[in-house]
Copies of this chain bind each other. A is one copy, B any other.
Amino acid sequence: MDVRKGKGASAPGRAPTETAPGGAALPLAHRVTLNDIAAHAGVSRATVSLVLRKSPLVKEDTRQRVDRAMTDLGYVYNRRAANLRSGASRTIGLVLCEIITPNYSQFTAGIDDVLDAESYVGFITNTAEDATRQKRVLVRMQEHGVDGIVLVPAEETRADALEEAHCAGLPCVLAQRRVEGFAADYVGPDYAAGMELVTEHLIGLGHRHIGFIGGVRRIAPLSERLAGFRRALRRHKLKIGPIVPCPVLDRSSGYAAARDLFAEENPPTALVCYNDIVAFGVMLALTERGLEPGRDVAVVGCDDVAEAGLHRPGLTTFTTDPRVVGREAARLLLRRIENPSRPPEQIIVPPRLIIRQSCGAAGPGRALAQKGGHAAIAAKAPKARRSSPHTLKGSAGT
């Protein structure tokens, strides 16, 4: 990253992120330009430009001559040149904390859906949860003159880091993860509502003693989830059953948490897990103890990872279609670009409950042939919720 050639070590504050020898490339075929078209059609360059931009000012007759000339010469529009003059580039940056999980690829697909329809193009970059890399790519995006950025911030991203990367001032939509203190647009799944949904479901099945597995890290998604969990229990005046921390949110951590919990007296009859992965670990621990998930103890997760439908018993869980989140994020960014001065907005995409066997409800019995058959229940209104900025501040800290 720091290969410095030459004699003097430079301190390039905002120099190009890196400079390479630069592959010269001889201009073998002289790219066709507006001037060529103009000459060929017998008009001025300005007129051709007007035709390009579908201006109503040009006469139908000349427009056709120009169009003809363009096809004849095989003209390809040079957006970079146009952008230099006009400012906007019809380009956005997509900065992801990772790209290989299905969640993010569907999210990306959602973004692309909207961009393609609006004839935008998006740069994609992966920060791999690395703050340094994130800063680098954010700057790089701006060097390339994007009109805005959709950012899924790397873990531990602080507001000042984003300020420093010049993100303030550039239209920027945060997705999936909030950054406390950075008052920007946000689009993400409604974890609170989802947790409320699954908890309500368990209560509906008769459970009165419900535990929560996972989470000690003080991260926003956890607080949100716990809020939903608590809300449901409180509504039914039930005890906010044991909340068991997990140092890391993975399978083995869930396993250990459940093992310990069930070594104590009077364990819960139902467990809400931070996510599906934790739930798998929990179910493993139960099975080892001779308890059958879905019959002896109800278990629910969050995310609906691919394995959830294939696992035996099938895992009851909830999820928010990441593709929808992507679409909403892209749309919001485009609105923001159109009008940079509107107040920050946040869009919370409602979750869907997916009932399988692990909660003890009558999910479909065998579902190997069809891909993880399940009953899906959408939460609340089908339309995403939008709230005003003060809500953002409020719920970010909750």
A contact set with B: CB distance below 8 Å: 5-8, 10-20, 22-23, 25, 27, 29, 51-54, 56, 60, 63-64, 67, 70-71, 74-84, 86-91, 94, 99-102, 104-106, 108-109, 112-113, 116, 118-119, 121-126, 133, 137, 139-145, 147, 166, 169, 251, 284, 306-307, 310-311, 323, 337-340, 368-369
- Taking a contact as CB atoms under 8 Å apart, the answer to whether B99 and A109 are in contact is yes
Tally of this chain's copies: 2
- Taking a contact as CB atoms under 8 Å apart, the answer to whether B126 and A75 are in contact is no
Least Cβ–Cβ distance between A106 and chain B, in angstroms: 5
Which of B54, B83, B142 is close to A76, meaning CB atoms less than 8 Å apart?
B142
- Taking a contact as CB atoms under 8 Å apart, the answer to whether A22 and B88 are in contact is yes
Residues of the B chain whose Cβ atoms lie less than 8 Å from the Cβ of A82:
16
Cα separation A139 to B113 with both chains bound (whole Å): 17
- Taking a contact as CB atoms under 8 Å apart, the answer to whether A140 and B122 are in contact is no
- Taking a contact as CB atoms under 8 Å apart, the answer to whether B112 and A105 are in contact is no
Least Cβ–Cβ distance between A375 and chain B, in angstroms: 21
- Taking a contact as CB atoms under 8 Å apart, the answer to whether B53 and A87 are in contact is no
Task: List 23 A-B residue pairs with CB atoms under 8 Å apart, sorted by A's residue number.
Answer: A7-B60, A10-B51, A10-B54, A15-B77, A16-B77, A17-B119, A25-B87, A27-B87, A76-B143, A76-B166, A78-B143, A91-B144, A99-B108, A99-B109, A100-B106, A100-B109, A105-B108, A109-B126, A116-B125, A121-B123, A121-B141, A122-B124, A284-B369
- Taking a contact as CB atoms under 8 Å apart, the answer to whether B71 and A5 are in contact is no
With A10-B67, A112-B124 given, is the CB distance from A118 to B52 under 8 Å?
Answer: no
- Taking a contact as CB atoms under 8 Å apart, the answer to whether B122 and A13 are in contact is no
With A60-B7, A88-B22 given, is the CB distance from A67 to B143 under 8 Å?
Answer: no
- Taking a contact as CB atoms under 8 Å apart, the answer to whether A79 and B23 are in contact is no
Least Cβ–Cβ distance between A16 and chain B, in angstroms: 4
- Taking a contact as CB atoms under 8 Å apart, the answer to whether A124 and B94 are in contact is yes
Residues of the B chain whose Cβ atoms lie less than 8 Å from the Cβ of A306:
306-307
Cα separation A133 to B119 with both chains bound (whole Å): 11
Least Cβ–Cβ distance between A374 and chain B, in angstroms: 16
- Taking a contact as CB atoms under 8 Å apart, the answer to whether B67 and A11 are in contact is yes
Cα separation A12 to B89 with both chains bound (whole Å): 20
- Taking a contact as CB atoms under 8 Å apart, the answer to whether A137 and B123 are in contact is no
- Taking a contact as CB atoms under 8 Å apart, the answer to whether B75 and A13 are in contact is yes
Cα separation A15 to B66 with both chains bound (whole Å): 10
- Taking a contact as CB atoms under 8 Å apart, the answer to whether B20 and A118 are in contact is yes
Which of B13, B54, B124 is close to A67, meaning CB atoms less than 8 Å apart?
B13
Residues of the B chain whose Cβ atoms lie less than 8 Å from the Cβ of A139:
76
Residues of the B chain whose Cβ atoms lie less than 8 Å from the Cβ of A83:
80
In the complex, besides A13-B67, A100-B102, 4 extra interface pairs with C-beta distance below 8 angstroms are A6-B56, A10-B63, A19-B53, A122-B123
Residues of the B chain whose Cβ atoms lie less than 8 Å from the Cβ of A22:
86, 88
Cα separation A150 to B108 with both chains bound (whole Å): 18
Cα separation A284 to B323 with both chains bound (whole Å): 31
Nearest residue in B to A82 (C-beta to C-beta)? Answer: B16
- Taking a contact as CB atoms under 8 Å apart, the answer to whether A143 and B77 are in contact is yes
